[in-house]
Amino acid sequence: MDINKDTIVTEIGGIKTNIKLGFLLEIFCELYDIDYVDEIIQEINDEEESFVDDYFIVAGDSKGLSCYCASNTGYEYLTKVLEKVFKEEFYYMHSTTFFWDAEVKDQVLKTFIKKQLVSSEIYSSDGDEILGVTTKDHSYYDVTEINEKNFLTNDEKILHDSLVENDQAELLLDAKYQYYYIRKKEFNIEKWWLGWTSPI
C-alpha cells in the first residue's frame, strides 16, 4: 500500500467524508496533543490500521480510509473531531438496554419489571446533557426505528419512577450499547430519535 497524507478518509464514525488523512491527523494533533503522525501513517501501511491514542482507529488501504472509535471515550470524543471536519456542531446519543430487578408484590409492577427497557442519553460535544429518555420493547441498536408504541405510558412512567426511588430495586445494565451522531442543526427535540447515524 501507499498510504500518505493525501490518502482520502471516506468515513468518520459512520458519517461520509472526503478529506485527506493529513487533515484528519492535524485535527488529532490539535485536539489530543499527538506528535507521532509519521508513525501513524507507517503503521497503516504496515498493518492496515493504526490506533490513535487509544481513542480511535484509522484503517483501510490506498483506496480509502475509515476512522472509528476504539473505546467509550473515543465515541464521546468523536463529536469534537466531526465538528472540526465539518465546521459545525454535533450531538451524540448513548443508548443501552437495562432491566429492573426487585422483589415486589404488586402484580402490575411485577409485569412491568419484566420489560426490556432502553436508556438513551443525548449530549453536546462538551458533555452537557440535552435529553434523557427511557423507552421499551426494542433494542439499543434500533433507536432510530422506534415509534409511539415504544414510549412509556403515563402509568408506566409512574411505575418506573417508583423503582428509581426504591432502594431495594436494582437497575441491571446490559453490557451492550450503541452510540449515534447527528448534526445539531438537524436535531429535533420533539422527534429526538430521528436523523441519527451510527458507526456500527
Q: Which residues have CB under 8 Å from 55's CB, separation 6+?
A: 32, 69, 70, 71, 73, 74, 77
| Domain-embedded: residue 55 | yes
| Domain-embedded: residue 200 | no
- Predicted local confidence at residue 3, as pLDDT: 93
Same domain, 96 and 187: yes
Same domain, 47 and 17: yes
Same domain, 100 and 79: no
Same domain, 17 and 68: yes
- Predicted local confidence at residue 63, as pLDDT: 84
Same domain, 116 and 178: yes
Same domain, 112 and 155: yes
| Domain-embedded: residue 199 | no
Helix, strand, coil share of the chain (percent; to 5)? 35, 35, 30
- pLDDT 10s digit of each residue in the chain, 200 long? 689 999 999 999 999 999 999 999 999 999 988 889 999 999 999 999 999 988 999 999 878 899 999 888 899 999 999 999 999 999 999 999 999 998 888 889 889 998 999 999 999 999 999 999 999 999 999 999 999 999 999 999 999 999 998 888 898 887 789 999 999 999 999 999 999 999 87
Q: How far apart are CA 24 and CA 116, in angstroms?
A: 39
| Domain-embedded: residue 3 | no
Q: How far apart are CA 56 and CA 5, in angstroms?
A: 17
| Domain-embedded: residue 109 | yes
Expressed as residue numbers, the domain containing 154 is 90-191
Asked if 178 and 128 touch (Cβ cutoff 8 Å), the reply is no
Which of 13, 112, 110 lies closest to 59 in space, CA to CA?
A: 13
- Predicted local confidence at residue 1, as pLDDT: 66
Number of domains in the chain: 2
Same domain, 94 and 82: no
Same domain, 111 and 138: yes
Same domain, 174 and 99: yes
Single out the residue in 42, 64, 86 at which a domain terminates: 86
Single out the residue in 86, 105, 137 at which a domain terminates: 86
| Domain-embedded: residue 81 | yes
Same domain, 63 and 124: no
- Predicted local confidence at residue 176, as pLDDT: 83
Same domain, 96 and 165: yes
- Predicted local confidence at residue 194, as pLDDT: 97
| Domain-embedded: residue 144 | yes
| Domain-embedded: residue 50 | yes
Length of the chain: 200
Single out the residue in 43, 71, 86 at which a domain terminates: 86
pLDDT, tens only, 25-38: 999 999 988 889 99
Beta bridge partners of residue 97, listed in sequence order: 118
